Structure 1
Amino acid sequence: MLRGSPQQMAEELLRRRDEIGVSSLSVDGAFAEQPAPVVELLAGR
């Protein structure tokens, strides 16, 4: 589970990618729009 601001969540996802190789996440369809700001921050990274 990710918590915090979109910037904090993006940083955590990048950390996880670098440390453990996780580069994707799953989102329940009912909440599909909520991670949009995080996805925008990660675009092209």
Structure 2
Amino acid sequence: MAAFAYVGSVLSGYSGVLLEPDVENPDQILPIMLMDYAPTCLPR
């Protein structure tokens, strides 16, 4: 049951690799995805 808690992070990581293939540092995928695809949550 606890494995379902990790599904969101795994899906966001894999989708980030597909949507942003030129990212040099894989640790930056989540912040880049948030800035590009969730602009109402984070101010620029």
Which TM bucket (shorter chain)?
0.3 to 0.5
Q: Which has the higher contact order (CA 8 A, sep 6+)?
A: 1
More helix per residue: 1 or 2?
2
Q: Which TM-score applies when normalising by structure 1? A: 0.38
Structure exhibiting the larger radius of gyration computed from Cα positions: 2
